[in-house]
C-alpha cells in the first residue's frame, strides 16, 4: 500500500492566464488546456469509482485499503478544485469546454453497472495520466517559463498522479477484476482518450484563431513525434499495460519523488 499525502499547493490562481501561457506556443497551450478541461469530470469519476470499489470490498480487505483510498480521493479532489479555477480562466479567454458534456453523456451508460467496470476504466485512465505525468516530470522545460504558477500546477499534479498510480489498479485486482476486461477497457479508453484530446485541442485552437497557422502544425509534429515527442516517448510504457503480469509499480516513479522532495516549499501537506 502507498502512503498518500494530500498537499495544498501554494499557487495563486486568481490572476488571469495568458492566451499562450505555455512557452508562447499555441499548440502546447491548447493541448494542456484541453487536458485540464477533462479533469473536473474525469477526476470526479475516478473518486466515485474508487470510493464505490472500496465499499464493495469485504471488510477485512477494506482495512488494507482505507488509508490509501482516503489519500487518493483527497489528492484527486484537490486536483479537481485547482483545475476548475484554471478552467474558469480559459472560459474567460473564449475557450469552450466540449469534452466535459460529452464525457458526462458517456458516463450515463455506466450507471448500475458492475463496479469493476468503473474501477477498470479508472485504472486505464490512471495509467494514461501516470505515463503522461512521468513524461512531463522528465521534460519540465516543455512547460516554458512564462507562467511559473501553471508550470508548478502541472508538475505537482504529475507528481501526485505518479504517486497514486497503483490505487485503482490494486483495487481492481482486490475486487477480482480479470485480465480480459482490464485489457478491453484499456483499448476502449485509449481510443476515447485520444479522440477526446484531439477534438478538444482542435476546438481550442479554432477558438484561439491559430488552427491554420503553419507554426501550430510544426509545433504539433515536433511535440508529439519529435526526438522528445510525447507520443514517441510514451508509446512503450503505454504498451506495457497489456502484459498479463503488468503492475504500475514496475514503472519507475523516481521523477515524482524527486520533484516532491525538491519543491517542498511549493506545498503544505494537509494530511499524512
Which residue, 134 or 161, is less far from Fe ion as judged by CB? Answer: 161
Which of 7, 20, 28, 79 contacts Fe ion by CB under 5 A? 79
Q: Check: CB of residue 17 under 8 Å from CB of residue 79.
A: no
Stretch that binds Fe ion, among 68-76, 105-113, 199-207, 248-256 (CB under 5 A): 68-76
Told to check if 116 binds Fe ion by CB under 5 A, we report no
Cell numbers given for 42: 474525469
Q: Check: CB of residue 32 under 8 Å from CB of residue 157.
A: no
Q: Which residues of 57-88 are buried (b: 16+ CB within 10 A; e: fewer)?
A: beeeeeeebeebbbbbbbbbebbbebbeebbe
Q: Which residues of 196-214 are buried (b: 16+ CB within 10 A; e: fewer)?
A: bbeebbebbbeebebbeee
Measured on CA atoms in the order 151, 48, 194, 102, is the torsion positive or negative? negative
Stretch that binds Fe ion, among 79-87, 114-122, 169-177, 262-270 (CB under 5 A): 79-87
Which residue, 26 or 121, is less far from Fe ion as judged by CB? Answer: 121
Residue 157: CB minimum distance to Fe ion, A: 6
Residue 217: CB minimum distance to Fe ion, A: 30
Mask for 149-178, x = binds Fe ion (CB under 5 A): ------------x-----------------
Taking alpha carbons only, the member of 132, 98, 79 closest to residue 204 is 98
d(CA 93, CA 36): 14
Cell numbers given for 119: 474501477
Q: Check: CB of residue 25 under 8 Å from CB of residue 219.
A: yes
Strand, coil or helix: what is 269?
A: strand
Which residue, 76 or 147, is less far from Fe ion as judged by CB? Answer: 76
Q: What is the DSSP string of 91-150?
A: HHTT----HHHHHHHHHGGGTTS-HHHHHHHHHHHHHHHHHHHHHHHH-GGGG-SS-HHH
Residue 133: CB minimum distance to Fe ion, A: 9
Stretch that binds Fe ion, among 55-63, 69-77, 96-104, 234-242 (CB under 5 A): 69-77
Which residue, 134 or 208, is less far from Fe ion as judged by CB? Answer: 134
Number of residues that bind Fe ion (CB under 5 A): 3
Which residue, 84 or 222, is less far from Fe ion as judged by CB? Answer: 84
Which residue, 20 or 79, is less far from Fe ion as judged by CB? Answer: 79
Residue 46: CB minimum distance to Fe ion, A: 6
Residue 244: CB minimum distance to Fe ion, A: 24
Cβ-proximal residue to Fe ion, closest one: 79
Q: Check: CB of residue 182 under 8 Å from CB of residue 164.
A: no
Which residue, 76 or 170, is less far from Fe ion as judged by CB? Answer: 76
Q: Which residues make up the interface to Fe ion (CB under 5 A)?
A: 76, 79, 161
Amino acid at each position: 500500500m502507498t502512503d498518500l499525502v494530500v498537499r495544498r499547493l501554494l499557487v495563486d490562481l486568481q490572476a488571469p492566464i495568458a492566451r499562450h501561457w505555455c512557452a508562447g506556443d499555441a499548440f502546447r497551450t491548447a493541448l494542456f488546456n484541453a487536458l485540464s478541461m477533462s479533469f473536473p469530470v474525469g477526476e470526479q469519476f475516478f473518486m466515485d469509482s474508487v470510493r464505490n470499489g472500496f465499499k464493495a470490498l469485504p471488510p477485512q480487505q477494506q482495512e488494507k485499503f482505507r488509508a490509501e483510498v482516503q489519500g487518493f480521493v483527497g489528492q484527486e479532489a484537490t486536483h479537481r478544485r485547482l483545475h476548475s479555477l484554471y478552467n474558469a480562466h480559459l472560459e474567460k479567454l473564449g475557450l469552450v469546454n466540449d469534452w466535459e458534456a460529452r464525457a458526462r453523456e458517456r458516463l450515463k451508460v455506466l450507471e448500475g453497472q458492475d463496479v469493476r467496470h468503473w474501477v477498470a476504466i479508472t485504472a486505464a485512465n490512471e495509467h494514461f495520466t501516470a505515463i503522461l505525468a512521468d513524461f512531463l516530470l522528465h521534460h519540465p522545460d516543455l512547460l516554458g517559463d512564462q507562467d511559473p504558477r501553471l508550470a508548478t500546477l502541472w508538475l505537482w499534479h504529475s507528481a501526485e498522479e505518479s504517486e497514486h498510480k497503483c490505487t485503482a489498479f490494486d483495487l481492481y485486482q482486490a475486487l477480482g477484476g480479470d485480465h480480459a476486461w482490464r485489457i478491453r477497457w484499456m483499448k476502449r479508453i485509449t481510443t476515447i482518450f485520444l479522440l477526446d484530446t484531439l477534438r478538444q485541442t482542435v476546438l481550442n485552437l479554432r477558438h484561439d484563431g491559430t488552427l491554420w497557422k503553419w507554426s501550430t502544425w510544426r509545433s504539433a509534429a515536433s511535440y508529439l513525434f519529435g526526438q522528445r515527442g510525447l507520443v514517441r516517448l510514451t508509446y512503450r510504457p503505454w504498451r506495457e499495460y497489456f502484459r498479463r503480469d503488468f503492475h504500475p509499480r514496475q514503472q519507475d516513479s523516481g521523477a515524482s519523488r524527486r520533484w516532491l522532495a525538491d519543491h517542498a516549499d511549493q506545498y503544505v501537506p494537509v494530511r499524512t
